[in-house]
Structure 1
């Protein structure tokens, strides 16, 4: 051995393989397709057009399609954005208080995503109103969860 300090000891250990992105996906994650999400999107749009904004927001924020591909997430996000922008600003605080902490975490993810995309930036005032009411209601907890969670919407 010429220089024992340069030996890669991890290469000798069979249990210390390098992690890939595929290794980080949980084994229980079911890949959601657009066909599976179409009924939920249709129900979300019908609730939003009928004026039941509380139920529409709850439906949009429960069980988001984390394991879907980018196109499916974009289609679902458009439906969520349409629902969020139809809410009157006077009703936002009441709706936010009715959400569970997990739903509030998902809502923050959709708000950040909306503020980062051009179609969401056109509705920036409404999204900021949602963000303001959410932080008034639950503090910074959803923001911290957003920053530490690897799952994206």
Structure 2
């Protein structure tokens, strides 16, 4: 023991549990399948085509499919992206004002996901407009919560 300052004390403590990758995964009650999300996706699309964007935003930000597999999440994301890109830029501020803080956090998750995939990057200007309005109205709180949350959309 030449350098006693570099000893890992936790290695000698039997009660000190090491975290594994499995420990860091968020707990879910059950996985959501695509068949269970189909009605919600059709509700999103019908609300968007009828012009009821507030209802569509509330549907997409309430109970997102965190426990779904990646293909199911991508199907749902494409419906969300369709809703977000149909809204006129002049209406974004009024819609964001009517969302709760939890719904705003979920919206920020979808905006970040949109900016990270090629389909969303094609609509980058619209997604940045959404992001700008959210941060103007809510501050950077939703962004910080997005960065620290383990649940992904």
TM-score (norm 2): 0.88
Deviation string 1:86-120 (CA, Å, 9 cap, x unpaired) is 00111000000000000000000100100111100
Distance in 2 (alpha carbons) for counterparts of 1:146 and 1:18: 25
The equivalent of 1:145 in structure 2 is 145
Deviation at 1:42, TM superposition (A): 0.6
Q: How does 1:1-153 map to 2 (within 5 A)?
A: 8-10=11-13, 13=14, 16-153=16-153
Distance in 2 (alpha carbons) for counterparts of 1:42 and 1:150: 27
- Look up the SS of the partner of 2:78 in the other structure: helix
Distance in 2 (alpha carbons) for counterparts of 1:22 and 1:37: 26
Distance in 2 (alpha carbons) for counterparts of 1:151 and 1:24: 11
Distance in 1 (alpha carbons) for counterparts of 2:118 and 2:8: 50
TM-score (norm 1): 0.88
Q: Gaps spanning 5+ residues in structure 1: where?
A: none
Aligned length: 147
- Tell whether the 8 Å contact from 2:28 to 2:67 is kept in structure 1 after alignment: no
Distance in 2 (alpha carbons) for counterparts of 1:60 and 1:42: 11
Deviation at 1:16, TM superposition (A): 4.6
Deviation at 1:23, TM superposition (A): 3.3
Q: Gaps spanning 5+ residues in structure 2: where?
A: 1-6
Deviation string 1:125-145 (CA, Å, 9 cap, x unpaired) is 110110011011101010010
Distance in 2 (alpha carbons) for counterparts of 1:64 and 1:71: 14
Deviation string 1:50-87 (CA, Å, 9 cap, x unpaired) is 11001101111111011111000000000000000000
Distance in 1 (alpha carbons) for counterparts of 2:137 and 2:81: 21
- Look up the SS of the partner of 1:64 in the other structure: coil
- Indicate how the Cα distance of structure 1 residues 6 and 131 shifts in structure 2: closer, same or farther if over 3 A, else same: closer
Distance in 2 (alpha carbons) for counterparts of 1:59 and 1:6: 49
